[in-house]
């Protein structure tokens, strides 16, 4: 196996990656959508937006792979960032650099790889958009041009993201080490620690904007049957896809968390309960209107939601409790519904 070389300007490259504050950040609905589209276009099993950190490659967006990171020493993307054009391996089994790579011999059993570097505005390769498949493939000239175009879209979005106000607020609020312990590795959402961190800050922002703090408690219906009938690996895929759908159904400024198990909590700024219920209904429909495709099987799943607005001057813990009680009411009233807490 050939480990990737270190770029000559690695210290500068790493510093720019750190300054962009992309590592250990929550899932992004735009990038989640883009990797899904790329997978459909190129008919491969896995598509990643991979960032090359000091000793790992970490996936900002992924589809078709459960892991959120791998070692840099065995990464294909570590080779790809050494150039500026797409790095393509048509068949790893016939390539002496990769035929005995652990990612070839073991899951995900890579046979085909294509990675196009994602460049910062300074021209440094921060990571790649990459295609992976367990079967060997060859990209036509047209496919290579299309792949380059897709990578340009990712690259441009990351540059815009680095300049927006929300990213600046995230930098000010959390260090990278703090983010690491607040991210759920399976769904790439904030975990319960993240919920506890953002809850008082979201309340303060609501006050500053003369808005109300809204809370949605969301719980998948009959999730235990998924694990019992299809296995825990399928259950993990359901949780991952559920996180994607909730994220896409709410707004960029809303905070989506996985508080544990199959339960998700969303923090929102709203004008009134009608706006809150409208967003909650979007989340419910995002789950119920289209089956989840898990390992070539279609699963019809629904979600129950408890919604509430904070009533000053109640403690934030009481607001969460009322949303939780509304969730239990939704479960008791037939599931696949939204209930507003009294």
Just list the catalytic residues.
262
d(CA 270, CA 254): 10
Residue 131 · residue 123 · CB < 8 Å? no
Report helix, strand or coil for 89. strand
d(CA 168, CA 170): 5
Task: Put residue 146 in one of left, alpha, beta given phi > 0 → left and psi -120 to 50 → alpha.
Answer: alpha
d(CA 100, CA 194): 40
Query: What tokens were used for 62?
Result: 């992924």
Query: φ, ψ for residue 23 (rounded to 5)?
Result: -70, 140
Strands (E), the chain: 46-52, 56-63, 69-71, 87-89, 112-119, 125-133, 212-220, 255-260, 263-270, 292-294, 297-299, 303-309, 338-340
- Cα end-to-end distance, the chain, whole Å: 62
């Amino acid at each position: 196996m050939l480990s990737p070389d270190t770029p000559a300007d690695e210290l500068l490259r790493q510093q720019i990656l750190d300054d962009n504050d992309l590592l250990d950040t929550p899932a992004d609905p735009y990038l989640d959508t883009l990797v899904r589209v790329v997978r459909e276009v190129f008919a491969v099993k896995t598509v990643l937006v991979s960032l090359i950190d000091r000793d790992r490659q970490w996936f900002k967006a992924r589809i078709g792979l459960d892991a959120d990171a791998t070692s840099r020493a065995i990464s294909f993307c570590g080779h790809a960032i050494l150039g500026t054009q797409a790095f393509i391996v048509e068949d790893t089994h016939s390539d002496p650099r990769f035929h005995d790579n652990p990612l070839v011999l073991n899951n995900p059993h890579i046979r085909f790889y294509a990675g196009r570097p994602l460049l910062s505005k300074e021209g440094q390769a921060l990571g790649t958009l990459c295609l992976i498949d367990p079967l060997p493939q060859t990209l036509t000239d047209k496919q290579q041009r299309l792949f380059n175009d897709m990578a340009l879209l990712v690259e441009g979005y990351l540059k815009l993201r680095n300049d927006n106000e929300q990213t600046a607020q995230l930098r000010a609020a959390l260090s990278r080490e703090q983010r690491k312990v607040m991210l759920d590795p399976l769904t790439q959402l904030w975990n319960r620690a993240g919920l506890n961190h953002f809850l008082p800050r979201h309340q303060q922002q609501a006050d500053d904007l003369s808005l109300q703090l809204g809370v949605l408690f969301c719980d998948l219906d009959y999730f235990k049957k998924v694990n019992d009938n299809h296995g825990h690996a399928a259950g993990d895929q359901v949780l991952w896809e559920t996180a994607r759908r909730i994220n896409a159904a709410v707004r960029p400024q809303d905070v989506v968390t996985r508080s544990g198990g199959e339960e998700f909590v969303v923090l929102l700024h709203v004008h009134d309960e009608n706006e809150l219920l409208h967003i909650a209904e979007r989340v419910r429909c995002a789950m119920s209107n289209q089956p989840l495709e898990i390992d070539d099987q279609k699963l019809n799943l629904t979600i129950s939601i408890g919604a509430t607005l904070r009533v000053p001057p109640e403690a934030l813990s009481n607001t969460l409790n009322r949303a939780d009680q509304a969730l239990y009411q939704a479960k008791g009233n037939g599931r696949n519904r939204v209930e507003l807490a009294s």
